[in-house]
Structure 1
Amino acid sequence: MTFHELHDAAAEPLLLPNAWDVPSALAFVDAGFAAIGTTSFGVASSLGRPDGERVTRDANLALVRALSSLPVYVSVDIEDGYDDDPEQVAAYVAELEAAGAAGINIEDSSAEKLIAPGGHAAKVAAIKERCPGLFVNARVDTYWLGQDATPRETLARAAGYVRAGADGVFIPGASEPAVLREICEAVPVPVNTLVIPGLSLSELAELGVRRVSTGSLPYRAAIRAAVDVAGAVREGRATPAAVPYPELQARLVEYAKAGR
């Protein structure tokens, strides 16, 4: 089954957990996920840098190469494509595809501001011309940034990206069921959302959502868990549950033996 087909393979949306390094990706593979994404926040944060500053370009390419031999599809969060020139963006995405990426996620904002929809559509078109088999998830940041956050403006942007060749549309921040239903009914390609508290995968499916990403949630949960462990020791409380050392070590040993 191809990465494209996974979006319609089940009654519930494709759940895409987002990794930030090799161990987190190995954990998701071991848990049985057929596809994983990367999180630009997690990757940037691991570098000690804020998200959205175009600092994850090389790190993402290295991560895709490191994950290329794993038995899962990998979709890469490339922020805004790290460039304003569509051809430069497409050239970078071609490197990712050659390294093993099955898809990418590219957002229509830079420096916390929406860019002109025509500029983003041009990036999508350039990527699809260069990499026709790659799953291009075009992110619409209207609700995420609270800028032009209406169904009308969101759908206008989404329609332009679909015409440019986008295989999916990602609308983070939209969480109202009525809004999601309206968007999903109007967009002719799979619609992707973030995890929405209070809405299960089956409930999102009823609204028309076909893909759900965890985004940076696992990374942020891991940071909190690390602090909770140290705090528990300091305060004399029982430490939270953790994956046993031998289990994690065995994953890494197997990964290393495979020459990855």
Structure 2
Amino acid sequence: MTAFADLHHRDVPLVLPTAWDHASAAALAARGFEAIGTTSLGVAAAAGLPDGAAATRDATLALALTLGNGSFLLSVDVEGGFSDDPDEVAEVARELAAVGAVGINLEDGLGSASRHAAKIVAVKAAVPGLFVNARTDTYWLGDGDERETSRRLDAYQQAGADGVFVPGLTDENRIAALVKGLGVPLNILYSPAGPTVTRLGDLGVRRVSLGSLLYRRALGAALETAADIRAGRTPRGATPAYEEVQALSPSLPT
């Protein structure tokens, strides 16, 4: 079992914050987060591209190249793999592993479950040690049908997924029921209106992702700060010093 997989088998859930650039990842690592993911929305928005439209393959690979040699374990959100062809998705996985990524998040977008399973098979055949977190969007994009969710998760487990992800699910009874039927760790997307991390751990959840929350909060803080200054108010909230942000970037060779 890899070090990243080990983090999914502890008594407390792995809280996986998500970065969208080098500074956000380095700052999170400096706060003691040993594993960091990427947010597809943050990567897409920063590049002026749509999220979930297979438009950010190059931007995602470029970010992974920047982050892959960091002091933390890196898991990369690859949307649906940027292709419907399992072999092409496997090639993306190879490229990510080559630059230091230890895991990927692969979403089905409520498309064909059998095609998604084929992508998982292809990735695990190409890079056996890469942690594949297989996401189903039955709650995120669909109506949260429990049978369909279980059917898809079972297919993804059988295909070799190392973990499964059900964003949008916050009901405690449904979470607990899913955990009982799984043979791999369950990942839940944190919601401020949903269960706490501690409660999710009590329910059997072993990974709690923050998704695009940090990116959206950062953008919200920037807008509030600009509005406060324009209105003559003193900005609130934490503000890292210039020197602190500068220190997040590696020194240039002399």
Bucket of the pairwise TM-score, normalised by the shorter protein: over 0.9
Q: Which residue does the alignment assign to 2:111?
A: 115
Q: C-alpha displacement at 1:135, in angstroms? A: 0.2
Q: 1:218 aligns with which of 210, 214, 217?
A: 214
Say whether 1:178 aligns with 2:173.
yes
SS of 1:138's partner is strand
Q: Which residue does the alignment assign to 2:7?
A: 6
Measured against aligned partners, the alpha-carbon deviations of 1:196-219 in whole angstroms (never above 9, x if no partner) come to 224111100111110001000000
Structure 1 gaps of 5+ residues are none
Q: Is the 8 A contact 1:170 1:193 kept in 2?
A: yes
SS of 1:136's partner is strand
Q: Which residue does the alignment assign to 2:147?
A: 152
Structure 2 gaps of 5+ residues are none
Q: C-alpha displacement at 1:257, in angstroms? A: 3.7
Measured against aligned partners, the alpha-carbon deviations of 1:32-66 in whole angstroms (never above 9, x if no partner) come to 10000000000000011221111111111111111
Q: Which residue does the alignment assign to 1:247?
A: 244
CA distance in structure 1 between the partners assigned to 2:195 and 2:155 by the alignment: 28
RMSD: 1.3
The one-letter code of the counterpart of 1:247 is E
Say whether 1:42 aligns with 2:42.
yes
Q: Is the 8 A contact 1:151 1:182 kept in 2?
A: no
CA distance in structure 2 between the partners assigned to 1:85 and 1:62 by the alignment: 21
Q: C-alpha displacement at 1:258, in angstroms? A: 7.0
Deviates more, 1:118-127 or 1:53-62: 53-62
The one-letter code of the counterpart of 2:112 is A
Counterparts of 1:126-165 in structure 2, within 5 Å, are: 126-147=122-143, 149-165=144-160
Q: Is the 8 A contact 1:7 1:210 kept in 2?
A: yes
Measured against aligned partners, the alpha-carbon deviations of 1:79-133 in whole angstroms (never above 9, x if no partner) come to 0111111011101111110111100000011xxxx11110000000000001100
Deviates more, 1:49-58 or 1:155-164: 49-58
SS of 2:123's partner is helix
Q: Is the 8 A contact 1:192 1:209 kept in 2?
A: yes
Say whether 1:209 aligns with 2:205.
yes
Identity of aligned residues (%): 48
CA distance in structure 2 between the partners assigned to 1:203 and 1:239 by the alignment: 34
The one-letter code of the counterpart of 1:176 is D
- How many residue pairs get aligned? The number is 251
Q: C-alpha displacement at 1:146, in angstroms? A: 2.0
Q: Is the 8 A contact 1:143 1:173 kept in 2?
A: yes
SS of 1:49's partner is coil
Measured against aligned partners, the alpha-carbon deviations of 1:169-194 in whole angstroms (never above 9, x if no partner) come to 00000110011111111111010011
CA distance in structure 2 between the partners assigned to 1:216 and 1:240 by the alignment: 22
CA distance in structure 2 between the partners assigned to 1:8 and 1:86 by the alignment: 28
CA distance in structure 2 between the partners assigned to 1:220 and 1:133 by the alignment: 32
Distance 1:23 1:239, change over 3 A: same
